[in-house]
Amino acid sequence: MQLDNAGSASGAATGKGEEGARYKMLRKLGEGTYGVVYKALDTVSGRYVAIKKIRLGTEEEGMPATALREISILKEINVHHPNVVNLLEVISLSQKLELVFEFCSGDLKQLWNETKQAFSGLKLKSMAYQLCAGAAFCHGLRIIHRDLKPQNLLLSGETLKIADFGLARTFQVPLPQYTHEVVTLWYRAPEVLLGEKKYSLAVDSWSIGTIIPEMASRQALLPGDCEVDELYQIFRMLGTPSEDTWPGVTDLPDYKPIFPQWRAKPLEQSIKNVDSVGLSLIQALLTYDPTRRMSAEAATRHAWFDDVRHMHPSAHPQMP
């Protein structure tokens, strides 16, 4: 989302009208589906911020739904958490909306591209723990992110922050029907791929289970090129699901009795640079049955994090 590799932007200020405005635009950081992100200087505090400029449509079109959803979700997260990007201000201008965020230097994908190095040792565990803690905090507020991926994980020094809540939804009971067009394909849970519309917080747990191995190798764990290929990559690694391993799977809309039958392989054949304790965590996060899949909050208590948990006391997930 935020890339500090500068194409220059106008130096004009923004925020309260052009004269005497609070934020001075510095450079363009990146571009998303409904907005352009700039680095700016807060002339009041002297700190850098990131400003997402959203151009509104016609009066009939109104505000993009993804923008409205992101604002609503981030306003709901009204208690600052170190592992969730902080929305500082919403500025409404004529035909334009500006979201002011704390500034982060880049995202995981950008960092890996620049350094050509994966995470290892305590750094790997620290980043994975912060991802679990940030997700657990959101889940405690009954918010499903629905698009966890390295590009949406920002870095501020050694702190990881979950960003881009444009696809996020609040989680309700009974479960409402959601669209299955969520989560970038490589991080998409099998229940979503199989057409389940009443999915839950467990879809984020699955995404975390695919991201941790990528943190350790810089290689996507399940890089499918279409939904069927994504499913088959999952099946080759974990075995083709059945009623024994996943009760109810045969009733999902897109389940096919003619799916090829693969046996599960030991995870260490697919995941490199993660020890056996870490693999047990990933296995729990990549459990087929969503009702038995490890939650993000439970993941923060896993033994793999015993030697880094004390490094992030303020990140321990709590209800605000």
Tell me the CB-side half-sphere exposure of residue 169, using CA atoms within 13 A: 20
Q: Domain spans of the chain?
A: 7-102, 107-315
- CA distance linking residue 209 with residue 215, whole number of Å: 11
For the segment 205-233, the average pLDDT, to the nearest whole number, is 97
CA angle 221, 207, 197 (to 5 degrees): 125
Considering the four listed CATH numbers 3.10.580.10, 3.30.1280.10, 3.90.1150.30, 3.30.200.20, the one that applies to the domain covering 7-102 is: 3.30.200.20
Residue 214: pLDDT band (50, 70, 90) is: very high
Query: 7-102 and 107-315 share one CATH topology?
Result: no
Q: By mean pLDDT, which of 146-155, 165-174, 199-208, 272-281 is the weakest? A: 165-174
Decide if pLDDT at 37 tops 80: yes
pLDDT in tens, 90-122: 888 777 788 899 999 899 999 999 999 999 999
Model confidence, pTM = 0.86
**Which of 199 and 49 is assigned the larger pLDDT?**
49
- CA distance linking residue 296 with residue 310, whole number of Å: 18
Domain 107-315, architecture per CATH: Orthogonal Bundle (1.10)
Residue 282: pLDDT band (50, 70, 90) is: very high
Catalytic positions? 147
Residue at 318: amino acid letter: Q
- Quick one: pLDDT at residue 314? 77
- CA distance linking residue 278 with residue 220, whole number of Å: 17
- What is the β-pairing status of strands 48-55 and 87-93? unpaired
